[in-house]
Amino acid sequence: MQTRPLGRTGLQVSRICLGTMTFGEQNTESEAHAQLDRAHEFGINFLDTAELYPIPPKAETQGATERYIGSWLKTRCLRDQLVIATKVVGRSDSTWFRADGSKPRLDLQNIREALEGSLKRLGVEAIDLYQVHWPDRPTSGFGSVPTRWKSPEEDPSEVAIEETLDALGELVKEGKVRHLGLSNESAWGTMRYLAHAERTGAPRVASIQNAYNLLNRVFEPALAEVALREDVGLLAYSPLGQGYLTGKYAGGARPAGSRKALFDRLQRYEKPGTAEAVDAYVALAERFGLKPATFANAFVLAQPFVTATIIGATTMEQLEECLAAEHVTWTDEMQAAVDAVHQRVGNPAP
């Protein structure tokens, strides 16, 4: 397994990261452990989770994903071989995350409570990469990087980025967090974090976890340059477009056990123009003799601003198709073919 530097932290992480948001909802504890075992055997040393998980978020399951990882760590004794990433939720109307039933915000009190919960569930003394799951401020849309701007309503009570970073810095000083990352953040937000760190000596963010895939390349126009020049690499989530890029939903199909069939919450990838784009990319995968899931992940891995692709699966067969991207040699011909389709269909699912 090839590794890449995680920002300027000195850590080397596998360029495939195991995403775990199905653990506790679509995957049982034993299934989760089987995936973790296979990932470790394959050479993956990078795990991503969140206090929010599993998905879809619910009060009765919240935290189950971290607990499943924690029970695996306890029996496998592999902690020193792994880089574990988790996340604190941004501002939310959901009241089940905090003990007093308040709505989460990105201030010191909320972040500290979130971190302590994650440490306990994971059974670890420190988090290697602690990420802000989404901003506290109102944004144009989830993911903070739209193709068309829609001005959000102002909120005078938003927690400033500088306050959030100072709060996270306190936890780094205490040794409970080693490094920091962002998620669903914009170029403006990323640079605000970096500027505050440079100005004050606060910890520097090492990564940004945004959606990035063949259907959604909005990271490229502004954030790619930030990632490369500032060493804040992309941890690409949803490399398969929530499963659409496998082709399994073609023609309106709803495979049993799929997220579409179970939860019907894939609207991000059901916008006009998306079906045409999916068909085109699946056809490209077939043209190059690869499974669509393998092809889609290989595309992500080939981009120079990417630190890791975050794969997720509910079956071992799906997991193997994603892992196979490690062995793909991405060619100029493949990139040109992808770019030609992108020129025609753009980013239908930002």
Q: What is the DSSP letter of 271?
A: S
Chain position carrying tokens 């905090």: 98
Q: Are the CB atoms for 261 and 254 separated by under 8 Å?
A: yes
The maximal CA–CA distance of the chain, rounded, in angstroms, is 56
For 251-269, give one letter per residue: b (16+ CB within 10 A) or e: eeeeeeebbbeeeeebebb
Instruction: Give the separation between CA 204 and CA 226, rounded to whole angstroms.
Output: 13
Catalytic choice (53, 237, 244, 269): 53
* Bridge partner residues of 84 (DSSP): 47
Indicate if 53 belongs to the active site. yes
Sign of CA dihedral 115, 116, 121, 123: positive
Instruction: Give the separation between CA 2 and CA 347, rounded to whole angstroms.
Output: 29
Instruction: Give the separation between CA 102 and CA 291, rounded to whole angstroms.
Output: 45
Q: What is the DSSP letter of 84?
A: E
Chain position carrying tokens 């300027």: 8
- What is the number of H-type helices and E-type strands within the chain? 11, 10
Q: Are the CB atoms for 43 and 78 separated by under 8 Å?
A: no
Element (H, E) at 309: strand 306-311
Query: Cα dist. 12→2, 128, 144, 149, 307 in Å?
Result: 9, 12, 28, 36, 10
| Active centre residues (catalytic) | 53
